[in-house]
Chain A
C-alpha cells in the first residue's frame, strides 16, 4: 500500500516536472525564434564595425604607436630591473618578496616614461579615436537613415559600435598585458606570483574601463556634433583639460586655500586638504592614476591624507591584494559610473534624435 502511494507521488512529481520542462522548452524555442533574427543583426553590426576599425588607417597607426611605445618602455624597465638583479645574488631573493614583476609596468630609467604612463596617455587617445565619429559619420554619409530603415531597434546601432570598440580594446590591452607578462618571465627569469598576476589583470581591466570612458565621451560628442572634426576636437579638448590643466587649476586654488592664515586647527587643515583631494578626484585621469598606482605598487598604503598619529604603529609592509582592491574600490566605482553616465547620455540623445536623411 505504502509503496504504491509513494510510487504515485513520484509519478505525479515526475509528470509535473516533465510538463514544466516541456513548457519551458517550448517557450524557449519561441523566444529563440524571435530573438535569433535580432541577434544575428546585432552581431552583424558588431562584426562590420570591428572589421571597419581593424582596416582603418587611423586604427592601424594608433595601434602601431601603442605597441611601439609600450615595448620601448618595457625594454627600459627590463634593463633597469635586470641591472639591479645582476648586481647581487641577494637582490634576487629580495626581489621575490618585493613585487618585482609589477615594476615592469611602473619603472623607467628616465629616458622613456613607464608603461603605466604611456597607457594613461595613449589609452584615452585610442578611446577617443574609436568613438569620435561613431554616429556623425553615419549621418554625414547618409547611411544612418538607410540603417534605420532596416528592421533593427535603433539602439542596436549605438550599442553595436560601443561593443565593437570595447571588444577591440579588450583584445588589444589584454594581449598587450599578457605579452608584457610573458616577456617579463622570459627575460627576467622570475615568474610572477599569483597575486602579482591578479594585480596585473585588475590593472588591465581598469585600463579598459578608463578607455571605455573616453570612448563613450567620443560617442557622446559624435551624437551631439554633426561634424566629425568638431567632435574630435572637443573630445581632445576635454582630454587635455583633465590630463593637464585640471590639476594645475586645482593646484593654483589649493595654494591659496591651504596656506591661508585662517587655518587654526589640525581638523581644519585636514578638512581643507581633503576638499582639495576631492576636487582632484573629479577628474577621471586622476582617479585612474590613483587606482593604478595603488594596484601596481603594493607599497602604497593609502590614497588619502594620513596624520602622523595614524601611521604610528603601522607596519611598513606592502598591502595584500585584497586590501589594495579595497583601497581603490571607490575610485574604480567612480570610473565605472562616469563611463556609464557618458554612455547613458549618448544613448538617450541618440534615441531622441531626429533621423533625417540629411542635415
Chain B
C-alpha cells in the first residue's frame, strides 16, 4: 500500500452532449502493476485512456499520471507514458527501423543512442529479420509487436495498451502477452491494458476493472471481482452424489447461506453466499447418500462477464 499510485483518477467524467462516455470514474493503479480495463466495445475505455494522456479533456474530475496533471502538462505526461492505440499505424513507405527512429527523433533521443535502442527493442519483440522491411508489408501481429517496440523507445514508466490483442492469432497473442508480462516483471513498468477479450486479460493482469457504460462496476483480482458482482451467488458448488432425491435436495437448500439449487445432468449446482462445501458434504453423508464429487467452481473472467451480462436485463428492470 506504501507504493505511490502511478495512475490516479478521481470522479472523472466525460460527456458528449448528453451521453456520458465516462461516468464518475475513480481508480488508482500502483507502480509495477498490470491493470486490465475490461469492458465491451463502447464502454468508454478509449476515452478514459485518451484523458489520461491529455488528448481529450475531461468534463470534470481529476486525473494524475505519475503525479502530473495531463490536462495542464500533457507533454510531461507523454514523456513518461507510452501509448499503443488500438489500431496502431505506421508509415507504410518507411521500414520498421525507420519508423522507430522517427519516434526516437520526436522524443529528442540522439541518433546513435536511438539506433542502438531500436535494435535492442526489435530483438526483444522478435522483429530483427523484418527491420528493413517496409512497415506497410507487416502483418497485423508484427505491427502490434512493432507498436510495442515503438512505445518502449522513450523508456516509459507507464505503458497504456488499447486492445493490444485485437485481431492477432492465438500464438501471436501469447507472445505479446508474454512480452508485456516480462516488461512489467523485469523492468518495473506499470501496464494498463484495455480489452474486451477476457481470457487474455485474465492471463496476465494483477487486477482487473470491469467497465461498462462509462462506469467501473467492479475492480480487484478475479475473486474479489466475483464477490463484488455477485453478492448473492458468489460461489457455485458442484455436487455429485447418489442417491440424489428430493429430500436430500431440500436438506441442502435448507443449509444457511445457500440461495438456490439447480439440477444439472449429473448432479447439482449449489449457488451460495459463502463457501459451504463442508456443510453440504456433512449433510449428504448424514443422510446416508454417498458423495462422489464436490467441487467449488472457480469463476473465470469469462464466467463473470457472461453472468454479469446475462443478468443485466434483470438488474436494469429493477
Contact = CB atoms under 8 A, between A and B. Distances in A.
Contacts of A358: 86-87
B91 A141 contact: yes
Given A36-B108, A141-B92, A143-B91, A149 B102 contact: no
A94 B301 CA distance: 93
Given A143-B91, A150-B107, 14 more contacts: A36-B108, A38-B108, A48-B105, A55-B93, A56-B93, A141-B92, A142-B87, A146-B85, A150-B154, A151-B76, A152-B75, A153-B75, A357-B46, A358-B87
B82 A149 contact: yes
Interface in B29-47: 46
A358 B89 CA distance: 10
Interface in A21-77: 36-38, 40-41, 44-45, 48, 52, 55-56
Interface string A121-154: 0000000000000000000011101111111110
A21 to B, nearest CB: 29
A354 interface: yes
Contact of A45 (B93, B106, B162): B106
Contacts of B285: none
Scoring B78, B92, B108, B162 by chain A CB atoms within 10 A of each residue's CB, the highest score goes to B108
9 contacts: A56-B93, A141-B90, A141-B91, A143-B89, A146-B85, A149-B85, A150-B154, A355-B56, A357-B88
A153 B75 CA distance: 7
Contacts of B91: 52, 141, 143
Interface string A151-189: 111000000000000000000000000000000000000
B50 interface: yes
Interface in B73-105: 75-76, 78-79, 81-83, 85-93, 102-103, 105
Nearest to B46: A357
Given A148-B55, A151-B78, A153-B75, A44 B106 contact: yes
Interface string A324-342: 0000000000000000000
A5 interface: no
B280 to A, nearest CB: 50
A41 B85 contact: no
A38 B87 CA distance: 27
Interface of A: 36-38, 40-41, 44-45, 48, 52, 55-56, 141-143, 145-153, 354-358
B55 A151 contact: no
Interface residues of B, number: 32
Contacts of B87: 142, 357-358
B176 interface: no
Query: Is chain A's binding surface mostly helix, strand, loop or mixed?
Result: helix
B93 A355 contact: no
A354 B57 CA distance: 10
Contacts of A52: 91, 93
B150 interface: yes
B106 A142 contact: no
B86 A150 contact: no
Contacts of B89: 141-143, 146
A36 B151 CA distance: 22
A55 to B, nearest CB: 7
B216 interface: no
Contacts of A142: 85, 87-89
B85 A150 contact: no
A146 B92 CA distance: 14
A145 B161 CA distance: 12
A255 to B, nearest CB: 50
B239 interface: no
A38 B108 CA distance: 7
Nearest to B81: A149
4 pairs of A and B residues whose beta carbons are closest in the complex? A142-B89, A37-B108, A44-B105, A149-B83
A45 B102 CA distance: 8
A286 B87 CA distance: 45
A45 B93 CA distance: 15
Contacts of A45: 106
Nearest to B105: A44
A45 B79 CA distance: 17
A44 B83 CA distance: 20
A36 B53 CA distance: 23
Contacts of B105: 40-41, 44, 48
Nearest to A41: B106
Contacts of A38: 108
A357 B79 CA distance: 19
A358 B93 CA distance: 20
A355 B106 contact: no
Contacts of A143: 89-91
Contacts of B150: 146
B306 to A, nearest CB: 27
Contacts of A151: 75-76, 78-79, 106-108, 154
A150 B92 contact: no
B86 A146 contact: no
A149 B65 CA distance: 14
Contacts of B90: 141, 143, 146
Nearest to B50: A355
A352 B98 CA distance: 30
Scoring A36, A141, A354 by chain B CB atoms within 10 A of each residue's CB, the highest score goes to A141
A52 B46 CA distance: 30
Contacts of A40: 105, 108
Contact of A149 (B46, B78, B92, B93): B78
B106 A147 contact: yes
A355 to B, nearest CB: 5
A354 B46 CA distance: 12
B121 to A, nearest CB: 15
A41 B107 contact: yes
Contacts of B81: 149
A37 to B, nearest CB: 4
Contacts of A55: 93
Nearest to A156: B106
Contacts of A36: 108
Nearest to B86: A357
